[in-house]
Amino acid sequence: MKTIKAVNNKVVEVNLTSGAIDTLTVAEDDRRNYLGGKGLALKLIYDRIKPGIDPLSADNILVLMSGPTTGTAAPTGGRFVLAAKSPLTGIFATSYIGGHFGVNLKRAGYDGIIIHGKAESPVYISVTSEGVTIEDASSLWGLDTYDLQEKEQEKGQWAVIGPAGENLVRYAAVVSGNRIAGRCGLGAVMGSKNLKGLVANAKARVVAVNTDGFKKALKIAQKKVKAHQNTGVNMVELGTAQNVMIYGTSNIMPVKNYTKPYFDKIKNISAEKIRDEHYVKNHGCFGCSIKCGRIGDFNNKKRVSPEYETIALMGSNLEIDELPKIAEWNETLNRLGMDSISAGNTIGFAMELNEKGMLKSELEFGKTGNINSILEDIAYRKGLGDDLAEGVKRLSEKYGGKEFAIHVKGLELAAYDPRGCTGQGLGYATANCGATHLSGATHSVEVGSYLQPYGTRGKAHMVKMMQDVTDVANSAIFCIQAQYPFLEENPTYKNTPDFILKFVMRYLPAVSAATIELSDFCSLVSGIMGYKINHKEYYKIGERIFNLERYMNCREGIDSTDDTLPERLLGEELIKGAPPIELKKMMKKYYKLRGWDDKGHPKPGTLERLNIAVS
Amino acid sequence: MKKKQIKVTVELFGGLYVKLQNENYDFETGIELDMAEKSTPKDILKALELPFFKTMIFFVNKERASANTRLKNGDKLICLTAASGG
Ligand code: SF4
C-alpha cells in the first residue's frame, strides 16, 4: 500500500467552466507559514481572488483542504475544511467537517482541491489515485444528501449538497457521511457552480515523517484525551448536548429569539434525557476516539441525535421541548443540506415577526406545527420559504425588526447568548466570518468562572489568544474538542490553586496568554511534519491566519462599524440588574492587542511582522 | 452536641450524572439529602462519593455559587461539570 508522509504538497486545481484540471505544488513558504487546512485554503484563495466578486458567481473560488493531521492517528485527525467567499455574509468563510471524504482525498495524493468557474450542467468531481475527473451529475441533481450517498456508495466517500445547495439557500451546508459543514452557506457556493458533490476513493497510509517523535507525542495526547473530564467522560457519554443543562442553567442558551433567560422545559431536551430514553450508539468523525455524536431512537426511528446547537436553536429558541420533533427536523436539515444554527435563528426571527404582526405566517413560538414543511419550503424556495432562505439579516431588511435580528456580519449567532459571557460577545463581534462559536470561544472559561461572566477584565487578551490558537488548530486540523485536554490536562493548570488561576487570567492576562499550554499541539504537528514547530511559531501561525482573513475581509469593505453585536444583545436586559456588554471598551483594547488601527484595519507593521504580502 | 440537620435537594448533570451509579436517581427530580448544617457543595459531592474537580459549576436556588457556599435548609443545589464547544 502506498504511504504518504504527512502531506502530499499537491493540490489539484479544477476549472468547471473550461474543464481544465491542473496540479500545483504547495510552496514551501506557504506550508510553513499557513500549515494546511484553514490557513492554506485561505492563502490559496487570497492569491487568486479579486475583491468584490459575487459569492454566487463563477468568480468565487471554493477550496476543500485537509490538514497535516488528516488521516493520521492524531486525536480528532479525520477532518477537513471548506473555504470560499460566503453568500450569506459576503466575506470569507471556512467550515469544518469530519466525514471520510477528506481522508480519502489525501490518500489519493492530494492535500486539497481548488474549484473555479461554473459547469454548464450538473457535475461531480471524482478523485482517485489515478487522477481527478469531472463527471456528469444530471441523474444525481435533486437527490437529498443521504439518498445520494447511499445510492452511489460504491464510488467512494462523498462531500455533497442537497436541494438547499442546488436552490442557493444562503445557509446551505455540505454533507459528508452524516457529518455536516453547516456554517456560512458554502453548500450554495457549490450549487452556484452546478457542483453536486465530490467523491474520493483511495487507499494509502498517512504516516508521520518523524515516526518516533509522533508516537511519543501521540501516547501523551491520547492519555490526556482519555483523562480529561470533557473528552474522556462527558463527550463520550453525553455528546455536545451535555451543554444544554450547562448553558441553559447559566442563562446562555437562547430562548424565544433571545428574549428569556431560562427555558422552563429544559430537562425535556437535555443530553441526560437523550441518554435515558433515546440513546442507541455513539458515532463521530473518521478515526476519532471521542465520537461525540450519537444515533438515537426517536419514536421507533433511528436518527442522528441532534447536537447542542441544533437543540438550542431549533428547541429552546423556538420554545419547543419535543426531542423527537427536533430529531426529525435535524434529519430533514441534514438531508436537505442546511445549517441548523442559521435555520433555527431564522425561524425564531420569523416567529417574532409574526408575533409582532410584521410578517404574518403560521410560525408561532412553542408550536411544532408545520416546521418540517417550512424546512422543505426553505430548501426549495417555495412561498415564505423563499424569504427564509435568505437568512435573518436579509429578512430584517425586507420586513423590519433590525433591532431583534440576531446576527453579526450576516451570520446568525451560535447558541451562546453573550449577555451571560461578555467575552464571547467580543469573540462574535470580531470573528472573521461573523457570529461563530468556533473562533475565540471564551464561553466555557467564562461559565467556568475563571474569567467572570460579566465585565471586561482579561477578556480582550483571552479572545485574541483563543482566536489565534483556534485558527492554527483549524489549520493543523484538530477538532475544537481536542483543545480542552491539550490546554487543561497538564500539571501547571491542574496543580495551580484556583484563586491563582483566576487572578492570573483576570489581572495578568498577558502572562496567561503567553504561558498557555500548546506543547501537545506542537509535538504532534512537529512529529507529523518532521520539523520542529515551537510554541512561539505555532502561535504566530494562528495570528498570521487570523490577520490574513481580516485583511481579505477589509478588502471587501469590512471595518470597525461591522465589529458589533445585535441591538437586542447590547440594549435589552436579559437578567434584571445584570451589567450590559461593554463592547466598546473591550474592542479598544482588542484592536490595540491586534495591531489594528481605529478603523479595524491591520496596520502595515502588523502585516509585515506576520509576513502577509499586501496586494 | 449533634449538629443540626438540613434538607437539600441536589440535581446532578453531565459527567456527575454519569458517574453517580445509582439506578434510583432520576435527573428530572434530583435527590433529597439530609446533611449537617452549613454543608457545602463539596461536602455533598463527598457524601455522594462523587469526585470534585476544578471546572465544576454550582447553582444554589438558581444563583451562581461556589464549591464552598454554605447551604441552608430547603436549598436546591445544581451541580454541573465542564462546559465545551459544540
Ligand atoms: S470530538 Fe466529535 S466533532 Fe470532534 S472529531 Fe471527534 S467525533 Fe468529530
| Nearest-angstrom CA–CA distance, A536 and A327 | 44
pLDDT per residue as tens digits for the range A421-471: 999 999 999 999 999 988 878 888 888 767 888 889 999 999 999 999 999
Q: How far is B52 from chain A (nearest CA, A)?
A: 11
pLDDT above 80 for B3: no
Q: How many angstroms separate the alpha carbon of residue A274 from the centre of ligand 1?
A: 18
- Assess contact for A587 and A598: CB atoms under 8 A: no
pLDDT, chain B, mean: 88
Question: A83: which residues sit within 8 A by CB, 6+ positions away?
Answer: A38, A41, A42, A45, A62, A63, A65, A92, A93, A94, A95, A186
In the sheet with A279-283, reading across from the earlier edge strand, the strands are A279-283, A293-298, A301-304
Q: How many angstroms separate the alpha carbon of residue A538 from the centre of ligand 1?
A: 22
Check residue A361 and give its pLDDT: 96
Check residue A435 and give its pLDDT: 96
pLDDT above 80 for A28: yes
Q: Element (H or E) spanning A15, and its range? A: strand A10-15
pLDDT, chain A, mean: 95
Backbone angles phi, psi at A401, to 5 degrees: 95, 25
Does the Cβ of A232 fall within 6 Å of ligand 1? no
Which region among A138-147, A165-174, A387-396, B16-25 has the lowest average model confidence (pLDDT)?
B16-25
Judge residue A357's burial from the number of C-beta atoms within 10 Å of its C-beta, 0-12 exposed, 13-18 middle, 19 or more buried: exposed
Check residue B83 and give its pLDDT: 65
Chain A residues with CB inside 8 Å of B86's CB? 240-241, 243, 307-309, 415, 437
**Average confidence (pLDDT) over A388-405:** 98
Q: How many angstroms separate the alpha carbon of residue A485 from the centre of ligand 1?
A: 13
Which region among A159-163, A442-446, B22-26 has the lowest average model confidence (pLDDT)?
B22-26
Which region among A53-62, A80-89, A581-590, B49-58 has the lowest average model confidence (pLDDT)?
B49-58
| Nearest-angstrom CA–CA distance, A350 and A353 | 5
Cell triple for A254: 437562547
| Nearest-angstrom CA–CA distance, A270 and A547 | 38
Q: How far is A236 from chain B (nearest CA, A)?
A: 10
Q: Element (H or E) spanning A586, and its range? A: helix A583-594
Quick check: A234 and B18 CB within 8 A? yes
Does the Cβ of A304 fall within 6 Å of ligand 1? no
Q: Which domains does chain A have, with CATH numbers?
A: 3-207 (3.60.9.10), 253-412 (1.10.569.10), 418-609 (1.10.599.10)
| Nearest-angstrom CA–CA distance, A225 and A233 | 10
In terms of DSSP bridges, do strands A10-15 and A80-85 run parallel, antiparallel, or are they unpaired?
unpaired
Q: Kindly report the number of other CB atoms within 10 A of residue A22's CB atom.
A: 11
**Average confidence (pLDDT) over A478-494:** 83
- Assess contact for A475 and A44: CB atoms under 8 A: no
Cell triple for A227: 483523562
Which residue in the set B17, B28, B86 is minimally distant from A243, CB to CB?
A: B86
Q: To 10 degrees, what angle do helices A391-399 and A340-355 make?
A: 20
Q: How many angstroms separate the alpha carbon of residue A233 from the centre of ligand 1?
A: 14
- Assess contact for A158 and A127: CB atoms under 8 A: no
Q: Kindly report the number of other CB atoms within 10 A of residue A125's CB atom.
A: 24
Chain B residues with CB inside 8 Å of A438's CB? 85
Chain A residues with CB inside 8 Å of B83's CB? 243, 246-247, 443-444, 447-448
| Nearest-angstrom CA–CA distance, A298 and A280 | 10
- Assess contact for A78 and A70: CB atoms under 8 A: yes
Q: What is the DSSP string of A240-296?
A: GGGHHHHHHHTT-S--TTTT-S--TTGGGGSHHHHHHHTEEEEE-STT-SS--EEEE
Cell triple for B71: 447551604
At position A117, the amino acid (one-letter code) is G
Residue of chain B minimizing CA distance to A307: B86
Cell triple for A2: 502506498
Q: How many angstroms separate the alpha carbon of residue A325 from the centre of ligand 1?
A: 24
Check residue B85 and give its pLDDT: 52
Which of A165, A189, A195, A196 lies closest to A54 in space, CA to CA? A189
Quick check: B55 and A242 CB within 8 A? no
At position A94, the amino acid (one-letter code) is T
pLDDT above 80 for B21: no
Check residue A388 and give its pLDDT: 98
Annotated domain spans of chain B: 1-8+16-55
Check residue A515 and give its pLDDT: 78
Does the Cβ of A284 fall within 6 Å of ligand 1? yes
| Nearest-angstrom CA–CA distance, A84 and A32 | 22
- Assess contact for A414 and A424: CB atoms under 8 A: no
Give this prediction's pTM.
Answer: 0.96
Percent of chain B surpassing pLDDT 90: 57
CA distances from B11 to A116, A513, B31, B46 (A): 55, 35, 7, 15
Which of A159, A67, A107 lies closest to A479 in space, CA to CA? A67
| Nearest-angstrom CA–CA distance, A510 and A520 | 21
ipTM score of complex: 0.92
- Assess contact for A206 and B53: CB atoms under 8 A: no
CA A391 to chain centre: 17
Tell me which of B55 and A348 has the higher pLDDT.
A348
Report the residue count for chain A. Answer: 615
Chain A residues with CB inside 8 Å of B64's CB? 449
pLDDT above 70 for B2: no
Percent of chain A surpassing pLDDT 90: 87
Cell triple for A615: 496586494
Q: Is A115 helix (H, G, I), strand (E, B) or coil?
A: strand
Which is the closest atom of ligand 1 to the Cα of A283? 7
| Nearest-angstrom CA–CA distance, A9 and A20 | 20
pLDDT per residue as tens digits for the range A198-232: 999 999 999 999 999 999 999 999 999 998 888 99
Quick check: B86 and A437 CB within 8 A? yes
Does the Cβ of A292 fall within 6 Å of ligand 1? yes
Percent of chain A surpassing pLDDT 70: 100
Which residue in the set B14, B54, B55 is minimally distant from A242, CB to CB?
A: B14
| Nearest-angstrom CA–CA distance, A525 and A541 | 12
Strands of A284-364 (E only): list them.
293-298, 301-304
Which region among A85-89, A190-194, A272-276, A603-607 has the lowest average model confidence (pLDDT)?
A272-276
pLDDT per residue as tens digits for the range A559-598: 999 999 999 999 999 998 899 999 999 999 999 999 999 9
| Nearest-angstrom CA–CA distance, A159 and A532 | 33
At position B30, the amino acid (one-letter code) is G
Which residue in the set A245, A270, A309 is minimally distant from B86, CB to CB?
A: A309
Q: Element (H or E) spanning A74, and its range? A: none
At position A62, the amino acid (one-letter code) is L
pLDDT above 70 for A129: yes
| Nearest-angstrom CA–CA distance, A121 and A166 | 12
- What's B7-70 look like in SS3? EEEEEECHHHHHHCCCCCCECCCEEEEEEECCCCHHHHHHHCCCCCCCCCEEEECCEEECCCCC
Check residue B19 and give its pLDDT: 84
CA distances from A157 to A162, A302, A479 (A): 16, 22, 20
Which is the closest atom of ligand 1 to the Cα of A235? 1
In the sheet with A179-181, reading across from the earlier edge strand, the strands are A131-136, A123-128, A195-201, A157-160, A174-176, A179-181
Q: Is A613 helix (H, G, I), strand (E, B) or coil?
A: coil
